[in-house]
Chain A
Amino acid sequence: MKSKELESSAKEKKKEILNDLRGFGSNLYNQMEKGKFPWVEMPSRSTENIFYSPEVRQYILGDKSVKRSARNIRHIKPFTQMVWAGFFASELVKNRKTSTLRDVYYSAQAYEMSFKDQPDLETATGFAREDFNVFPEERSAIFGDLTIEYTVPGYEGKQLNLTSHPDGVMIGPSLVSSEFAKTGCDKVIAIEKGGLFTRFIEERVHKKFNALLVLTAGQAPRATRHFIHRLNRELELPVFIFTDGDPWGMHIAMVIISGSANAAHLRGLTTPDAKWGGVYATDIVDYKLPSDPLTPVDVKRLHELTKDPRYKGELWKREIKTFLKIKKKAEQEAFSRYGLTYIVDKYLPAKLEEMGD
């Protein structure tokens, strides 16, 4: 455990963020004091400047940068929104409050501003909006033997073991900003669907496999991806991901592993060593799972994925090929055909072994 070192990291980051925002504001302020239109320079997020980096194993921004100036009539509105977002974030961080995107939207109206979730401030400062305490509505949860220590106001120093609630604990702002105190687990299992997450808890998968269970609830929110990243980085836990057996499920796993092009300006959201455990197309064949035929949209999506640089690995190539061959897909719940506990008793151990746990 590196808890001592980690303890300060959240607070350090807060200080760093505030410093950064002040610098950001001072820069604009000084420009205006000199009678100049304020401007900032930031990496370009245009598609020709987004590259997949095999070294970092995620999408990154290239060297091209853009200048955003308040002198430009087309820039001034997003520019103002960016400055306002910075102002709002600094208020949140200073007062140690959190907010949702909807809150930001309505707060903006108080200043006669319209707000769009635009990543300019993230790009300009290099911080994710979650760092500024702005979160989307949360749906994802975690369950397992991990003790965390809150840093949010009123709970500082208070510890919680994440097995304490049988429905799991929501991955919200206070959890994301907390420090890791200790854990008895040796792996993380991420699950796409809420039904299966509940089944795993009921079947005591966390005990049987000594695992932390994370519910992504579909496409994992950025805060959840960051949290999985921290579990992998700070606690050195291997991560296994279980999704539906279709192109969309594959991609849920892939975004946790390698990130998305939309977040190419951010780091700390990916877990390159995480592994996708299924449902594979080959599982549909091997386990004779009840399945549905692929829709034309599914097929189109599979063809897109073949061109995606993140899908260069052997496993991915094999599964895409198999999907296209059998033209079938299956949900995680399909294992219930063999009894409710089949997936935990038979499938999961086999998979974990296959992935080299």
Chain B
Amino acid sequence: MTFQEISPADFFYRNRDIAGFTNPSRAIFASIRELVENSLDSADQMNIPPEVHVRLSEENSDTANESGTGVYRLKIMDNGSGISARHIPSAFGQVLFGSKYTLKQARGTFGLGGTMAILYGQITTHKPVIIKSSTGTSKIYEYKLMIDIQRNRPLILDRKTRRNKEQWRGTIVEYSLEGDYLRAMSKILEYLKQTALVTPYADIRFIDPKGRLYLFTRATKKMPPPPTETLAHPYGVDVETIQRLIRVTDCRNLLDFMRKHFHRVGQGISLSFLDFAGFLRTANPQRLKPEDVARLVETIKKSNKFRKIFGKVTEEDIKSLLKKSKSQSMLDFMKSNFPNVEKNIILHLLSSAGFVRTKNPRKLRPSEIVRLVRMMKRFDGFLPPDASCLSPLGEELLRTGILKELKPQFIAVSQRKPSTYAGHPFIVETAIAYGGDIPRKDDFVVYRFANRIPLLYDEASDVSVRVIRSINWRRYKVSSDMPLAILVHVCSTKVPYKTVGKEFIADRPEVKSEILNGIREVARRLQIFLSKQEHRAKERRRLSVFSKYLPKIAKFSTDLAGKKKEPDIEVLLRSVKKFEEQGA
């Protein structure tokens, strides 16, 4: 038996299926997708409307065999942030190296996709990748790279520096790969269309191997507010995270540690949590010195809030109380002598007066770290994470994107309030579009997005599709043969994907219920629209019936009565109309 260690690059080389590079057709789709997403992310970071140009050309037609597989050259150019010269080799030549290991929403998450695409190109064609990038400085850097798979290191074959006369900023990636464009074509086009839908502020241009140009022009330059990087939420951390934080922190006590490194934890919550978790001690009243008593009284006197709650307290009062007390901690002492005051206010006072002691996080024993993490999950006093680290599209942009790509007759969009699962904030956006370019099929068209990435595979396993199937659509006057598109967008710092290939979202109950409520919301609005439309059609039919028959009745009656002039029925027709308008 031989044991050997493999590098991350080697691991993904051997297991490329899990990253979505299953066959030549999937591989070409995944390559384009990963690189387009990197480009969009890098422009989003700079808060500039992205321009992404993709060109796929057939490199060598001899290599194309009967199965349709051939060698293609893929070139992707963007106007994003660009990559600084020293990071270029690692960013493209090392698996799991990236700028996205932070807690804010981005399309990519694993730092894997782009390099994986290049790795795939290398193993199928054994040709280097060419990267050109500039961050808008006076220079453009050009690298020719290959990946040392066994060592997970970039091999720099060549590097050039050019003058950046036009102050160009962005990145160009160009390399060769084996693929099957004909089979992947419909998915690629669908992917680009849906990307354009969910990124209405982006210009996307694609030239396919046949030389056909697909242009997805932006409908707006407005962009959603960029997400801010956020701290970890206590509910979402594990022992490893705490250990890493302890290694880097400069805090000397747990009270400060909690406040500084966790999301939405302030002095009050930090105090209550540490007390709840048993990591907080207060001074012993039996050993209090006169200056300690003076400091306590002074702290009460100085604060309006404490004065109001504790009333006028003198040093003599405290001293006499202390004489009678047998308490071993100031917390117990205060609690028994001020029974009407809430515990967190007493804690606040004691910490302000300097009677609170918490451990130095560096001195926590492993068992204590485990207990700390366990208590974090159990404590119910943490605030839910806020959504500033998320960047949902927003109702306006979502509407713009749908109008641009589907031109529907009716559209309803809804953004749910931020919610959390397991300490990860998420926001669900839903939309329903009716008519227009939406095809009439046997079933609804479902567009699934996660962090603005279209999800195209494994639809049946996705939570959104399950939710949609569970809804009784007849209640909303909807039948499955209607031209209807339902859109679900889940934004999160951690989208609950089921696979590395980012194809579908797992059944998290919290996420599921938000999706359900979001779809119900837009479905209700669709129902109102459909009812109104039905009503209008009915009224039109009604009016046409009246205007068809009333003149005939007038004519025949005139004849029967032996009169010459027909009665004026305009009044009657108008009255019908007026009634309808009131009724509508």
Interface residues in chain A, defined as those with a beta carbon under 8 Å from any beta carbon in chain B: 21-22, 24-26, 28-29, 32-33, 35-38, 70, 73, 76-77, 79-80, 83-84, 86-87, 90, 111-113
> For residue A26, which residues in chain B have a CB less than 8 angstroms away from its CB?
557, 560-563
B544-569 at interface with A (beta carbon < 8 Å):
545-546, 548-550, 552-554, 556-563, 567-569
Measured CB to CB, the nearest residue on chain B to A36 is B572
Do residues B557 and A35 form an inter-chain contact, with CB atoms below 8 A? no
Residue among B542, B561, B571 making CB contact with A25, cutoff 8 Å: B561
Residue among A24, A35, A83 making CB contact with B553, cutoff 8 Å: A83
Chain A proximity mask over B473-498: 1 for CB below 8 Å, otherwise 0: 00000000000000000000000000
Interface residues in chain B, defined as those with a beta carbon under 8 Å from any beta carbon in chain A: 542, 545-546, 548-550, 552-554, 556-563, 567-569, 571-572
**Can you pick out 21 interface pairs between chain A and chain B where the beta carbons lie within 8 Å of each other?**
A22-B560, A25-B557, A28-B553, A28-B557, A29-B560, A32-B569, A32-B572, A33-B568, A35-B568, A37-B572, A70-B553, A73-B545, A73-B546, A76-B545, A76-B546, A79-B549, A79-B553, A83-B553, A84-B556, A87-B559, A90-B559
Do residues B556 and A22 form an inter-chain contact, with CB atoms below 8 A? no
Residue among A25, A80, A113 making CB contact with B560, cutoff 8 Å: A25
Residue among A22, A24, A32, A70 making CB contact with B549, cutoff 8 Å: A70
Do residues A83 and B572 form an inter-chain contact, with CB atoms below 8 A? no
Do residues B557 and A80 form an inter-chain contact, with CB atoms below 8 A? no
> For residue B559, which residues in chain A have a CB less than 8 angstroms away from its CB?
25, 87, 90
Do residues B562 and A77 form an inter-chain contact, with CB atoms below 8 A? no
Q: How far is the CA of A144 from the CA of B568 in the complex (A)?
A: 56
Q: How far is the CA of A83 from the CA of B556 in the complex (A)?
A: 6
Q: How far is the CA of A200 from the CA of B368 in the complex (A)?
A: 122
- Assuming A76-B549, A84-B552, A111-B552, is B560 touching A35 (CB within 8 A)? no
> For residue A70, which residues in chain B have a CB less than 8 angstroms away from its CB?
549-550, 553
Q: How far is the CA of A112 from the CA of B528 in the complex (A)?
A: 37
Do residues A33 and B560 form an inter-chain contact, with CB atoms below 8 A? no
Total A-B residue pairs with C-beta atoms closer than 8 Å?
A: 79
> For residue B557, which residues in chain A have a CB less than 8 angstroms away from its CB?
25-26, 28-29, 32, 38, 83
- Assuming A22-B562, A26-B561, A35-B571, is B545 touching A77 (CB within 8 A)? yes
Q: How far is the CA of A36 from the CA of B572 in the complex (A)?
A: 7
> For residue B554, which residues in chain A have a CB less than 8 angstroms away from its CB?
32
Do residues B560 and A83 form an inter-chain contact, with CB atoms below 8 A? yes
- Of the candidates B542, B546, B558, B559, the one having the most CB atoms from chain A within 10 angstroms of its own CB is B559
Do residues B550 and A24 form an inter-chain contact, with CB atoms below 8 A? no
> For residue A79, which residues in chain B have a CB less than 8 angstroms away from its CB?
549, 553
Q: How far is the CA of A28 from the CA of B566 in the complex (A)?
A: 11
- Assuming A32-B569, A33-B567, A70-B550, is B556 touching A87 (CB within 8 A)? yes
Closest 8 CB pairs of A and B: A25-B560, A32-B567, A87-B556, A25-B561, A28-B557, A26-B561, A29-B561, A80-B549
Q: How far is the CA of A84 from the CA of B556 in the complex (A)?
A: 6
> For residue B560, which residues in chain A have a CB less than 8 angstroms away from its CB?
21-22, 24-26, 28-29, 83, 86-87, 90
> For residue A36, which residues in chain B have a CB less than 8 angstroms away from its CB?
572
Question: Shortest Cβ distance from B476 into chain A, in angstroms?
Answer: 27
> For residue B569, which residues in chain A have a CB less than 8 angstroms away from its CB?
32
Q: How far is the CA of A80 from the CA of B561 in the complex (A)?
A: 15
Question: Shortest Cβ distance from B104 into chain A, in angstroms?
Answer: 61
Do residues B562 and A80 form an inter-chain contact, with CB atoms below 8 A? no
Measured CB to CB, the nearest residue on chain B to A88 is B556
Question: Shortest Cβ distance from B432 into chain A, in angstroms?
Answer: 32
Measured CB to CB, the nearest residue on chain A to B562 is A22
> For residue A87, which residues in chain B have a CB less than 8 angstroms away from its CB?
556, 559-560
Do residues B546 and A22 form an inter-chain contact, with CB atoms below 8 A? no
> For residue A29, which residues in chain B have a CB less than 8 angstroms away from its CB?
557-558, 560-561, 563, 567
Q: How far is the CA of A21 from the CA of B556 in the complex (A)?
A: 11
> For residue A24, which residues in chain B have a CB less than 8 angstroms away from its CB?
560
Question: Shortest Cβ distance from A166 into chain B, in angstroms?
Answer: 44
Measured CB to CB, the nearest residue on chain A to B546 is A76
Question: Shortest Cβ distance from A37 into chain B, in angstroms?
Answer: 6
Q: How far is the CA of A278 from the CA of B556 in the complex (A)?
A: 48
> For residue A33, which residues in chain B have a CB less than 8 angstroms away from its CB?
567-568
Known: A22-B560, A32-B572, A112-B548. 10 other contacts (CB 8 A): A25-B556, A25-B558, A26-B557, A26-B561, A26-B562, A28-B553, A28-B557, A38-B553, A80-B552, A83-B560
Question: Shortest Cβ distance from B354 into chain A, in angstroms?
Answer: 85
> For residue B568, which residues in chain A have a CB less than 8 angstroms away from its CB?
32-33, 35
> For residue B552, which residues in chain A have a CB less than 8 angstroms away from its CB?
80, 83-84, 111, 113
Residue among B549, B556, B563 making CB contact with A77, cutoff 8 Å: B549
> For residue A73, which residues in chain B have a CB less than 8 angstroms away from its CB?
542, 545-546
Question: Shortest Cβ distance from A82 into chain B, in angstroms?
Answer: 9
Q: How far is the CA of A83 from the CA of B566 in the complex (A)?
A: 14
Question: Shortest Cβ distance from A29 into chain B, in angstroms?
Answer: 4
> For residue A37, which residues in chain B have a CB less than 8 angstroms away from its CB?
572
> For residue B545, which residues in chain A have a CB less than 8 angstroms away from its CB?
73, 76-77
- Assuming A25-B561, A26-B561, A35-B572, is B550 touching A76 (CB within 8 A)? yes
Do residues B553 and A80 form an inter-chain contact, with CB atoms below 8 A? yes
Measured CB to CB, the nearest residue on chain B to A33 is B567
Q: How far is the CA of A33 from the CA of B561 in the complex (A)?
A: 12
Q: How far is the CA of A35 from the CA of B567 in the complex (A)?
A: 9
> For residue A38, which residues in chain B have a CB less than 8 angstroms away from its CB?
553, 557
Measured CB to CB, the nearest residue on chain B to A90 is B560
> For residue B572, which residues in chain A have a CB less than 8 angstroms away from its CB?
32, 35-37
> For residue B556, which residues in chain A have a CB less than 8 angstroms away from its CB?
25, 80, 83-84, 86-87
Q: How far is the CA of A38 from the CA of B569 in the complex (A)?
A: 10
Q: How far is the CA of A24 from the CA of B546 in the complex (A)?
A: 21
> For residue B549, which residues in chain A have a CB less than 8 angstroms away from its CB?
70, 76-77, 79-80
Q: How far is the CA of A21 from the CA of B560 in the complex (A)?
A: 7
Measured CB to CB, the nearest residue on chain B to A74 is B545
> For residue A35, which residues in chain B have a CB less than 8 angstroms away from its CB?
568, 571-572
Question: Shortest Cβ distance from A70 into chain B, in angstroms?
Answer: 6
Measured CB to CB, the nearest residue on chain B to A35 is B571
> For residue B562, which residues in chain A have a CB less than 8 angstroms away from its CB?
22, 25-26
Question: Shortest Cβ distance from B25 into chain A, in angstroms?
Answer: 58
Measured CB to CB, the nearest residue on chain A to B551 is A80
> For residue A84, which residues in chain B have a CB less than 8 angstroms away from its CB?
552, 556
> For residue B550, which residues in chain A have a CB less than 8 angstroms away from its CB?
70, 76
Question: Shortest Cβ distance from A9 into chain B, in angstroms?
Answer: 24
Q: How far is the CA of A28 from the CA of B14 in the complex (A)?
A: 91
Q: How far is the CA of A37 from the CA of B571 in the complex (A)?
A: 10
Q: How far is the CA of A84 from the CA of B561 in the complex (A)?
A: 13
Q: How far is the CA of A83 from the CA of B558 in the complex (A)?
A: 10
> For residue A111, which residues in chain B have a CB less than 8 angstroms away from its CB?
552
Q: How far is the CA of A140 from the CA of B282 in the complex (A)?
A: 119
- Of the candidates B542, B560, B562, B563, the one having the most CB atoms from chain A within 10 angstroms of its own CB is B560
Measured CB to CB, the nearest residue on chain A to B554 is A32
Question: Shortest Cβ distance from B546 into chain A, in angstroms?
Answer: 7
Question: Shortest Cβ distance from B496 into chain A, in angstroms?
Answer: 54
> For residue B571, which residues in chain A have a CB less than 8 angstroms away from its CB?
35
Q: How far is the CA of A113 from the CA of B552 in the complex (A)?
A: 9
Q: How far is the CA of A80 from the CA of B545 in the complex (A)?
A: 11
Question: Shortest Cβ distance from B574 into chain A, in angstroms?
Answer: 10
- Of the candidates A24, A25, A111, the one having the most CB atoms from chain B within 10 angstroms of its own CB is A25
